[in-house]
Amino acid sequence: MKKFKNCKEEIDTWCGMEIQPGTYYEIETTELFNWQNNSKVLSDIASGSGVINNGTNDITDIAKAINFLKDEDSSPKDSDGSPLQRVKITTTGWHYQFHGIEFETSKLDSKYSKKTNNTDYNFINMKYYKLVDGVETQITGDDLNQTFLDSNCIKTVVEWEPTHDIEVVGGIIKQHSLPTEDLRLWVVGVPDVPEAYGGSKPFVVNVNMKYMGSEEGVRVDGRAPKYMTYSSIYHSTKLQLIIRHSAGFKHQMHMIFEIFKA
């Protein structure tokens, strides 16, 4: 609600409305634009001849009154104070990047992520899991060889962790052919931090790639970028792909992250 009060000692007219001294006029939504852009209204607010009221209290601060009238301080904002609707997309000086990685389930040394000079980004870490008494247990030590994976790997985990700040827009996972059996995918953000403290956010949950065509793949789009600050302690830029499959099952996949970076 927006009201305008005539603070003069005589009747006056604003935007075609005659207002008695000391009386409020409630501005209708259909006429708000005219009030927001009327020179007499703005100058009289500035001089004290008129006052804007928010429906409960008079706004005596001139700047705040004009901002309230013009809706310049009442747009919806998120918890960081950023407008929910905005033209600016990313941090000044940053650029968009379509960052792809390749890997194969149940296979050692299958990760591929190169720079233009053919050197590795070193952002990827792969882990493999077996079942021990019904519990998924990471394969390590002497068991971490291809022969053992061929018979025992039932979960492949791919961790992608840029060592710099990023803004994540979304991601796409592609496959050149359909898996011949169930291949279930989860994607978790900041997995090393418990959910109670703001981490371990599930972005993709239980998507069976057997039902995803090679053309459409799986696309995740957050609609607006989310800032992620790199920390070597909390691993706050890490995104984890969890893929469950039958023992030793191999399937090639291509994950593309849509990000902004410096």
Helix (H, G, I), strand (E, B) or coil at 253: strand
Asked, for residue 186, whether it belongs to a domain, the answer is yes
**In this structure, what token pair is assigned to residue 176?**
């050149």
Asked if 239 and 257 count as a contact pair (C-beta separation under 8 A), the reply is yes
The rounded distance, in Å, linking the Cα atoms of 136 and 186 is 15
Asked, for residue 145, whether it belongs to a domain, the answer is yes
Whether 197 and 119 share a structural domain: yes
Whether 21 and 123 share a structural domain: no
Helix (H, G, I), strand (E, B) or coil at 256: strand
Mean pLDDT of the residues in the chain: 90
Whether 58 and 114 share a structural domain: no
Please choose, from the candidates 183, 173, 242, the residue with its C-alpha nearest in 3D space to the C-alpha of residue 208.
Answer: 183
Whether 21 and 99 share a structural domain: no
Whether 65 and 102 share a structural domain: no
Whether 176 and 214 share a structural domain: yes
How many domains, in total, are found in the chain?
2
Res 250: pLDDT: 98
Please choose, from the candidates 12, 107, 147, 261, the residue with its C-alpha nearest in 3D space to the C-alpha of residue 4.
Answer: 12
Report residue 256: phi and psi, to 5°: -120, 125
Please choose, from the candidates 25, 97, 41, the residue with its C-alpha nearest in 3D space to the C-alpha of residue 261.
Answer: 97
Whether 140 and 234 share a structural domain: yes
Whether 112 and 222 share a structural domain: yes
**In this structure, what token pair is assigned to residue 67?**
């901002």
Whether 140 and 196 share a structural domain: yes
**Positions in the chain short of pLDDT 70:** 72-89, 215-216, 222-223
Segment 156-170, tens digit of pLDDT: 999 999 999 999 988
Asked, for residue 77, whether it belongs to a domain, the answer is no
**In this structure, what token pair is assigned to residue 186?**
């989860």
Whether 45 and 112 share a structural domain: no
Full-prediction pTM beyond 0.85? Answer: no
Place of tokens 């994540």: 168
Res 197: pLDDT: 85
Domain that holds residue 54: 3-69
Asked, for residue 78, whether it belongs to a domain, the answer is no
Enter the DSSP assignment of 61: S
CATH number at residue 185: 2.60.120
